[in-house]
Structure 1
Amino acid sequence: MLIFLIGMMGAGKTTLGWQLANKLGYSFVDLDDFIEKREGKSIAQIFEQEGQECFRELERAALEAVVTENTKAVISTGGGTPCFFNNMDFINGQGKSIFLNVPLSEIFTRLSGSNLALRPLLANKTEEERRLFLTNTLAARKPCYEQAVYTLNGPDFTVQALLKLLNYN
């Protein structure tokens, strides 16, 4: 089975995804890491050199490749992945999707403590601009996220909560 974790940047998809994969004995794939290895560039470099539209095309191709290459995996998607090229329909057709629904205030706190240079959509923005961007982005993406098979409301997620949600008691 493929399990896709979706949600905003900073929701904990990578951290929780790695833990869940380890617990289930599945492979773990961080889609952004997969793209970076495949392209030989960081996500920030792709955004800077080729733009967001090109990145989204690479992201879709990477999503298809990951699905083709894996049968038992937990896949941490990028925050925008479900919202482009009917990716949410594709994800739901390939496995189980879980929306990690974290309050915006928590996302802002988590991201403020991270290296923003690694997040091209937030780099070079003031605190106020980041807050506005995250508010608007979540409002735009939430309808896509809400198409997930499951929703886990946070901010404090555990592997046990995910296992229960997936009926892996």
Structure 2
Amino acid sequence: MATSSTCAENVVLIGFMGAGKSTVGRELARRTGRYFLDADALIEAAQGRAIASIFDEEGEAYFRELEQQSARWMAECVRGSIVSTGGGMPTVVERLREIGTVVYLKLPFEKILERIGPEERRKRPLFHDIEKAEKLFAKRQKIYEAQAQITVDADRPLEEVVDEILRRL
């Protein structure tokens, strides 16, 4: 398991789908010289298929188990990186802090809808029903807040979000 001294090496970005975890993560990595790791892309690469396909063929429970496996691997093996989690990972992985410093990118649901247009929503299984997605958002928001060591308002320009994260780290 990661110790508190190694935790500081990684930054773990959490937040709902469309909050900007990948965009912010790439910019943080660029500005700090760290590697960027997208947990969803890691799972897709390991499975050889898209997350939507995993959901369709195996179901959500199977995907959540894959998230737990990838989190264990990251806690043991990943150092000096910026990690972008999937929106649901904080709901099944209680010990994200073993991977690194947890930063919650907070964004209102209405802004998320603006960012994720209809085309993108079709690719995201949990966004097929907007009303259901909004209820999921409300439920997850409490989990994100409980997991976070740093909460950042993500409803502003990328540079400002990254600057604040760097200041607060």
Q: TM-score range by the shorter chain?
A: 0.7 to 0.9
Q: Unpaired segments of 5 or more residues in structure 2? A: 1-8
Match of 1:59 in 2: 67
Write out aligned runs for 1:69-108 (5 A): 69-84=77-92, 87-88=93-94, 90-108=95-113
Aligned pairs, number: 157
Question: Is contact 1:101-1:153 (8 Å) kept?
Answer: yes
Question: Is contact 1:44-1:117 (8 Å) kept?
Answer: no
Give 2:44's aligned amino acid: E
Give 1:121's aligned amino acid: L
Question: Is contact 2:74-2:99 (8 Å) kept?
Answer: no
Give 1:150's aligned amino acid: I
Q: Tell me, in whole angstroms, the C-alpha distance in 1 between the residues paired with 2:126 and 2:99.
A: 28
Residue 42 (structure 1) aligned with residue 67 (structure 2): no
State the identity %: 34
Write out aligned runs for 1:74-153 (5 A): 74-84=82-92, 87-88=93-94, 90-112=95-117, 114-122=119-127, 125=128, 129-130=129-130, 132-147=131-146, 148-153=148-153
Q: Tell me, in whole angstroms, the C-alpha distance in 2 between the residues paired with 1:119 and 1:138.
A: 14
Q: How much does 1:134 deviate?
A: 2.6
Q: Unpaired segments of 5 or more residues in structure 1? A: none
Question: Is contact 2:25-2:83 (8 Å) kept?
Answer: yes
Give 1:155's aligned amino acid: D
Pick from 141, 153, 163: which aligns with 1:160?
Answer: 163
Q: Tell me, in whole angstroms, the C-alpha distance in 2 between the residues paired with 1:114 and 1:82.
A: 26
Out of 157-166 and 67-76, give the one that drifted further. Answer: 157-166
Q: How much does 1:116 deviate?
A: 2.4
